[in-house]
Amino acid sequence: MPSFLAEQTSIWYQKNARDLPWRHEGVGAWAILISEVMLQQTPVSRVLTVWQEWIERWPSPADLAAEPAGEAIRAWGRLGYPRRAMRLHECAGEIVRRHGGEVPDELDKLLALPGIGDYTARAVLSFAFGQRHPVVDTNVRRVVSRVHHGVEDRAIGLAEVAELLPLGQSDAALASAALMELGAVVCAARSPRCGVCPVMAECRWKQLGSPQPEKPFRRPQSYAGTDRQVRGLLLAVLRESAAPVPRHRLDLVWPDGVQRERALQSLLADGLVQAQSCDVFLLPDSTPAQ
DNA sequence: CTCCCGAAGT
DNA sequence: ACTTCCGGAG
């Protein structure tokens, strides 16, 4: 059932879409998959440079799979959540071993790959293969919740979004990109730009006076002082060092020895760091995928 | 300090 | 259903 929301947003998108390099003609499924993983938790502006480096260095899954995981972690730079880099490396290996080196174009096969969840699998199918799938990230949830239900945070499921997409494959893929773009640049969480919104006239949320949620949703933890920050500091040292790093150099980045050790152990457990000996550490140099 | 906002493990 | 996992911009 093509909806007013999907149709109007698609028209708007064709005039107002940002010119992002992974949207260019001829960009392959692997490059799009990389972009979606990088964008999972990181703003566009920070992804641009690293994505370009990755696709030039590793234009196919086989190119990435042929290198040690540590190279992916190093090239991830400061994008954050570096387990994504490790999973992308594992993902490349799986694509080579199980799919002949080509990104699969079926939902169940994508969902089975490491680091690929409900959102990313459908984003790749839509944006790389032009298929019709509900691509639901928090932007899309917010847009649909506001426009159709008039509230900030109604639970929006895949089925509901599937129903509002146009029936044609390429029209649906376009609408999915458009809904995400609208949520990102117009129907923003904090500062919505309703004055330029293509669906303002039929937005339930706007009609109701842009009601805020009953519960303001408190964010329990800040980043400063968390294990995540310490892990980031430790990994940065290893990333920027060509040679293995002795423990005493890691001791410099954080004063609390208990937390520092806990962070180091969790990095080892995640496979983001390897111990060369009991007091020397390096990025993983696991043998490339066979 | 706040905002950003997906995958996977439990 | 709830928690862990980053880091830069404002």
Across all strands, nucleotide nearest A111 (CA–C1'): B7
Give the residue whose CA sits closest to B1 at C1': A222
CATH 1.10.340.30 assigned to domain A1-210? The reply is: yes
Please tell me the predicted confidence (pLDDT) of residue A260.
97
Distance A248 CA to B7 C1' (A): 33
- DSSP state at residue A276: E
* Residue A18 in this model has a pLDDT that exceeds 50: yes
Query: How many helices (DSSP H) and strands (DSSP E) are in chain A?
Result: 15, 3
Q: Average pLDDT of chain A?
A: 95
Please tell me the predicted confidence (pLDDT) of residue A128.
98
pLDDT, mean of residues A110-137? 98
Q: Which nucleotides of B are covered by protein (CB under 7 A)?
A: 1-8
What span, in angstroms and rounded, lies between the C-alpha atoms of A113 and A124? 12
Distance A140 CA to B3 C1' (A): 18
Domain ranges of chain A: 1-210, 227-282
pLDDT, mean of residues A72-94? 98
Q: Which nucleotides of C are covered by protein (CB under 7 A)?
A: 3-9
* Residue A35 in this model has a pLDDT that exceeds 90: yes
* Residue A290 in this model has a pLDDT that exceeds 50: no
Please tell me the predicted confidence (pLDDT) of residue A268.
97
Distance A168 CA to B2 C1' (A): 41
Burial A149-165 (b: 16+ CB within 10 A, else e): bbebeeebeeebbbebb
Q: Which residue has the higher pLDDT, A154 or A288?
A: A154
Task: Give long-range contacts, CB 8 A cutoff, 24+ apart: A163-166.
Answer: A163/A1, A164/A1, A164/A2, A164/A3, A164/A5, A164/A6, A165/A2, A165/A6, A165/A132, A165/A134, A166/A2, A166/A6, A166/A7, A166/A10, A166/A132
Which tens digit of pLDDT belongs to each residue from A259-281? 999 999 999 999 999 999 999 99
Please tell me the predicted confidence (pLDDT) of residue A2.
72
Across all strands, nucleotide nearest A239 (CA–C1'): C6
Which tens digit of pLDDT belongs to each residue from A207-260? 999 998 876 555 566 788 899 999 999 999 999 999 999 999 999 999 999 999
* Residue A287 in this model has a pLDDT that exceeds 60: no
Please tell me the predicted confidence (pLDDT) of residue A125.
98
pLDDT, mean of residues A63-67? 98
Across all strands, nucleotide nearest A223 (CA–C1'): C6
Which tens digit of pLDDT belongs to each residue from A106-121? 999 999 999 999 999 9
Distance A221 CA to C2 C1' (A): 14
pLDDT, mean of residues A115-144? 98
* Residue A189 in this model has a pLDDT that exceeds 70: yes
Footprint of strand C on the protein (CB under 7 A): A 41-43, 45-46, 78-83, 220-221, 223, 226-229, 231-233, 235-236, 266, 272
Please tell me the predicted confidence (pLDDT) of residue A224.
84
Pick the CATH number of A227-282 from 1.10.287, 1.10.1760, 1.10.3470, 1.10.10: 1.10.10
Please tell me the predicted confidence (pLDDT) of residue A289.
41
* Residue A288 in this model has a pLDDT that exceeds 60: no
Give me the active site residues of A, please: 36
